[in-house]
Amino acid sequence: MSTPRGSLVLVPNTLDFGIAGEAPAIGDVLGASVIRNAAALTHWVAENAKTTRAFLKRVDAVVALAQPLQLLSIVELPRANKGARGAPLADLTPLLSPALDGHDIGLISEAGLPAVADPGAALVQAAHQIGIRVVALPGPSALLLALAASGLNGQSFAFVGYLPVEAAARSARIRELEALSRRTAQTQLMIETPYRNEALLSALLAHLQATTRVSVSCGLTLPTAFTRTDSVRGWTHRPSALPADVPAVFSLLAG
Amino acid sequence: MSTPRGSLVLVPNTLDFGIAGEAPAIGDVLGASVIRNAAALTHWVAENAKTTRAFLKRVDAVVALAQPLQLLSIVELPRANKGARGAPLADLTPLLSPALDGHDIGLISEAGLPAVADPGAALVQAAHQIGIRVVALPGPSALLLALAASGLNGQSFAFVGYLPVEAAARSARIRELEALSRRTAQTQLMIETPYRNEALLSALLAHLQATTRVSVSCGLTLPTAFTRTDSVRGWTHRPSALPADVPAVFSLLAG
């Protein structure tokens, strides 16, 4: 007799991480089945244990947790480099051992979908390698909401993560992405640490051609949410200030 | 005195479009604020009017519609080509005229987020051009759920739409995407008409190298959902049959 294995359950978080002001009710942003599933999980792997406990308190206010918060197992993922290569090299298989004992394991990020633009993909990869079922619960992704709201090409797009911080490398990368976008009509999406939002916008406007369109989305799903899409010429003639404390998604499409 | 303008509201749909069997309750998949916002809208632009009416009946069962369904304005988007260039050439500005009269307009697709992998982006672009606010309500995207569940690189990825149907062009495109993925460590995502799911998988396995990883996700958010990620060698040694009537998302990452 063998115990049935548990699954690795990808649990979406809300998109209000680290943003001051009142967060929306969790049930306003996430579907009821997501909240029910999250409340039932007793084993978690998390990008950040503290924000996971905050998430679970919001869940508990809607659907009682299966076990008191302090009895839940919450293990943090090892920190990965924010590099283009993504997966860290550590063997994450031990984090999956509760699934071998029949427990479902929740994987959760600080915001949005786990394993997208965060270090969780390596755990999902390990689950596939040892034959643990992976279940993705529906939830919002700031990247895709920004793409939808941009009006740029949603039939071909790429997310390229962070641009280099160093000025010469950054301007070279911006020109490379514009050339790629022109050749393939592919929207290029990127993110930045919020205090560098203005610096990234300035660099985009300085190095892109006048007819290339640039879109910026800030604070999606919040009352203060905005998306502006305009040509480089339009942004330059009519500047917008960006908040320095709210995550933004930037995208460009060569015009 | 001028009337305040309405917004263009991007309303997510569920992911069960065209799939036989019982659909999940709409409130299980979408957040409560999305359903409240959708119920309040009296003007819609839709990829398909019939599926929009079906969506609104599901909304009405949770939150009463502001007006009876038959009194709502539902205008279909002109059909666009499913080509890489995305935006159709028709001027869509007239579809936005209710917003100039102060009405919010909902934009909705047959499944998932509007303006992503569907013809809605041109309407969003038109809204930005005439200064109508664009608001994206949170909801799931099959593309991003598949990416999360794949365990492939979620820090750099591209969605490339449909591959060519003709065999030589298709195999050339598959090799091109693999070379790009090898050079940039970027996950490449694509979709296919369901009855060609098996043919696309066969083509991927025939033309990719043995160590390249291929992921297939089918029926995400449904009870029958599955994701398999394996090397080309693994898929070839232990084949999986794919359903011919359920949309799938395919992705690859050169190994």
Which residue shows structure tokens 């060569």?
A: A254
* Same domain, yes or no: B147 and B107: no
Contact in structure between B87 and A153 (CB atoms under 8 Å): yes
Q: Which two tokens stand for residue B6?
A: 């309405």
Q: Is residue A208 part of a domain?
A: yes
8 Å CB contact of A138 and B133:
no
In a mutational test of the B interface, the residue from A17, A130, A144, A173 whose CB has the highest number of chain B CBs within 10 Å is A144
Ranges of H-type helices in A7-48:
26-29, 32-40
Q: Which helix (H) or strand (E) holds B46?
A: strand B43-46
Min mean pLDDT across A155-159, A244-248, B14-18, B190-194 is at B14-18
| B34 to chain A: closest CA residue | A28
A13-17, A95-99, B172-176: least confident range: A13-17
Strands A43-46 and A213-218, by their bridges, are unpaired
CATH number of the CATH domain containing A26 = 3.40.1010.10
Cβ contact (<8 Å) for A217 and B157? no
Distance CA A170, CA A162 (A): 10
Question: Which residues span the domain enclosing A124?
Answer: 8-136
Distance CA A13, CA A112 (A): 5
Sequence-distant (6+) residues with CB within 8 A of B229 are: A124, A125, A128, B150, B151, B152, B213, B214, B215
A112 lies in the same domain as A159? no
Same domain, residue pair A186 and A112: no
- Residue B1 in any domain: the answer is no
Residue-wise pLDDT tens digits, B39-97: 999 999 999 999 999 999 999 999 999 999 999 999 999 876 544 454 446 789 999 99
A30 DSSP 8-state letter: B
Which of A77, A111, A136 marks a domain boundary? A136
B240 shares a domain with B172: yes
> Which residues in chain B have Cβ-Cβ distances shorter than 8 Å to A29?
31, 33, 138
Is-above-0.90 flag for pTM? yes
The answer on B111 and B203 residing in a single domain is no
Same domain flag for A111 and A180: no
Is residue B89 domain-shared with residue B163, that is, in the same domain?
no
ipTM value of the model? Answer: 0.95
Give the CATH number for residue A212. 3.30.950.10
Quick check: is A81 in a domain?
yes
Tell me if B3 is assigned to some domain: no
Model confidence at A243, pLDDT cuts 50, 70, 90, reads very high
- Mark whether A27 and A130 lie in a shared domain: yes
Give a yes or no: residue B26 inside a domain: yes
Q: Which of B80, B102, B136 is the last residue of a domain?
A: B136
Q: According to the model, what pLDDT value does residue A89 have?
A: 60
Chain B's closest residue to A81, CA to CA, is B155
Cβ–Cβ pairs < 8 A, chains A and B = 220
- Chain B positions touching A148 (Cβ under 8 A) are 10, 113-116, 120-121, 124, 136
Partners of residue B185 in chain A, C-beta under 8 Å = 84-86
Whether the Cβ atoms of residue A141 and residue A113 lie closer than 8 Å to each other = yes
Kindly write down the DSSP assignment for every residue of A100-132, as one continuous string.
HTT--EEEE-SSSSTTSSSTTHHHHHHHHHTT-
* Shortest alpha-carbon distance between residue B68 and chain A (Å): 24
- The total of structural domains in chain A comes to 2
Both A166 and A237 in a single domain? yes
Per-residue pLDDT of A118-135, as tens digits, reads 889 999 999 999 999 999
| A1 lies in some domain | no
Q: Say whether both A170 and A217 belong to one domain.
A: yes
Domain-located, residue A3: no
Model confidence at A187, pLDDT cuts 50, 70, 90, reads: very high
Closest CA of chain B from A219, distance in Å: 11
Per-residue CA distances from A210 to A157, A189, A228, A253 (Å): 21, 18, 16, 12
pLDDT tops 90 at residue B18: no
Last-in-domain residue among B104, B136, B168: B136
User: Is the domain of A232 the same as that of A150?
Assistant: yes
- Which amino acid, residue A92? L
Averaged pLDDT, A132-158: 97
* Shared-domain flag, residues B132 and B12: yes
